[in-house]
Amino acid sequence: MRWGILATGKIADSFASDLALVPDATLTAVGSRSPASAQAFADRHGAPHAYGSYDELARDPDVDVIYVATPHGRHIEDVMLCFEHGKAVLCEKALTLNARQARQLVAEARRRGLFFAEAMWMRSNPRIRRLLGLVRDGACGDVRQVRADLGFVLPAEVSLRLTDPTLGASALLDVGVYPLTFAYCVLGEPDDIVASGTLSERGIDLNGGATLRYANGAIASISWTQVAWSDSTASVAGPDGRIEVASRMHMPPTFAHIRGWESHTYADPVIGRGYAHEIVEVGECLRAGRTESEILPLDDTVAILALMDRMREQMGVHYTVD
Q: What is the pLDDT of residue 316?
A: 95
The rounded distance, in Å, linking the Cα atoms of 322 and 313 is: 10
User: What's the CATH code, domain 2-122+275-291?
Assistant: 3.40.50.720
Give residue 168's pLDDT: 80
Q: How far is CA 98 from CA 129, 161, 301, in A?
A: 26, 16, 11
Instruction: Name the residue among 15, 54, 58, 244 with its Cα closest to residue 146.
Output: 244
CATH homologous superfamily, domain 126-269: Dihydrodipicolinate Reductase; domain 2 (3.30.360.10)
Query: Residue 296 to residues 48, 110, 173, 216, 291: CA-CA distances in angstroms?
Result: 29, 15, 17, 26, 11
Q: How far is the C-alpha of 199 from the C-alpha of 236, rounded, in Å?
A: 29
Please tell me the predicted confidence (pLDDT) of residue 241.
97
Please give the chain's pLDDT, 322 residues, in tens.
Answer: 999 999 999 999 999 999 999 999 999 999 999 999 999 999 999 999 999 999 999 999 999 999 999 988 899 999 999 999 999 999 999 999 999 999 999 999 999 999 999 999 999 999 999 999 999 999 999 999 999 999 999 887 666 666 777 778 899 999 999 999 999 999 999 999 999 999 988 889 999 999 999 999 999 999 999 999 999 999 999 999 999 999 999 999 999 999 988 999 999 999 999 999 999 999 999 999 999 999 999 999 999 999 999 999 999 999 989 8
Q: What local confidence, expressed as pLDDT, does residue 252 receive?
A: 97
The residues near 283 (Cβ < 8 Å, ≥ 6 apart) are 1, 22, 24, 25
Q: Where are the domains of the chain?
A: 2-122+275-291, 126-269
The model's pTM is 0.95
Sequence-ordered list of residues with C-beta below 8 angstroms from that of 239, at least 6 positions apart, any chain = 140, 141, 142, 144
List the beta strands (DSSP E) in the chain: 2-6, 26-31, 49-51, 65-68, 88-92, 116-119, 145-151, 192-199, 205-213, 219-225, 234-238, 241-245, 255-259, 262-266
Three-state DSSP class for residue 177: helix
